[in-house]
Amino acid sequence: MGVYCLDTRVLAHLEPDVRLDFRDLILRLLERVEAWRPEAYRLDLGRYDDYELAMQEFASVRHRLLPREVRAPDQP
Q: What is the pLDDT of residues 39-75, one digit of tens each?
A: 777 788 888 999 999 899 888 888 888 877 665 556 5
Residue 19 to residue 13: CA distance in whole angstroms: 12
Q: How confident is the model at residue 75, as a pLDDT?
A: 58
Residue 9 to residue 1: CA distance in whole angstroms: 22
Split at pLDDT 50, 70, 90, the class of 21 is very high
The alpha-helical segments, DSSP class H, found in 1-76 are 22-32, 48-65
Residue 29 to residue 11: CA distance in whole angstroms: 11
Answer yes or no: are the C-beta atoms of 65 and 41 closer than 8 Å.
yes
Answer yes or no: are the C-beta atoms of 50 and 43 closer than 8 Å.
yes
